[in-house]
Amino acid sequence: MTITLITGANKGIGFETARQLLELGHVVYIGARDVERGEKAAAALGARFVQLDVTDDASVSSALATIDAAEGRLDVLVHNAGILGEGAIDGPTALRVFDTNAVGIVRVTEAALPLLRRSSNPNVVTVSSSAGSFWAVNNPDRPEFHLPLALYSASKAAATMLTVQYAKAHPGIKFNALEPGTTATDMTAAFGIGRSPAESARTVVRLATLGADGPTGTFQDESGELRW
pLDDT digits (tens, 9 = 90+) for 163-211: 999 999 999 999 999 998 765 545 544 445 555 778 889 999 999 999 9
* Count of Cβ atoms closer than 10 Å to residue 61 Cβ: 15
Distances (CA, A) of 115 to 26, 73, 146, 163: 16, 4, 40, 18
pLDDT for 41-72, tens place per residue? 999 999 999 999 999 999 999 999 999 999 99
Answer yes or no: 156 catalytic.
Answer: yes
Q: Which residue has the higher pLDDT, 149 or 115?
A: 115
Distances (CA, A) of 191 to 51, 84, 104, 148, 182: 30, 12, 25, 11, 10
Q: Are 195 and 221 in contact (CB under 8 A)?
A: no
Query: CA–CA separation, 140 vs 46, rounded Å?
Result: 43
Name which of 107, 109, 94 is nearest 163 in CA terms.
109
Q: Active-site residue among 128, 155, 156, 200?
A: 156
142 has a pLDDT exceeding 90: no
Q: Which residue has the higher pLDDT, 86 or 76?
A: 76
Strands (E), 33-142: 48-51, 76-79, 123-127
Global pTM reads 0.92
Q: Which residue has the higher pLDDT, 226 or 116?
A: 116
Predicted local confidence at residue 195, as pLDDT? 54
Mean pLDDT, residues 218-224:
87
Q: Active-site residue among 59, 128, 129, 155?
A: 129
Q: Are 79 and 124 in contact (CB under 8 A)?
A: yes
Mean pLDDT, residues 71-75:
98
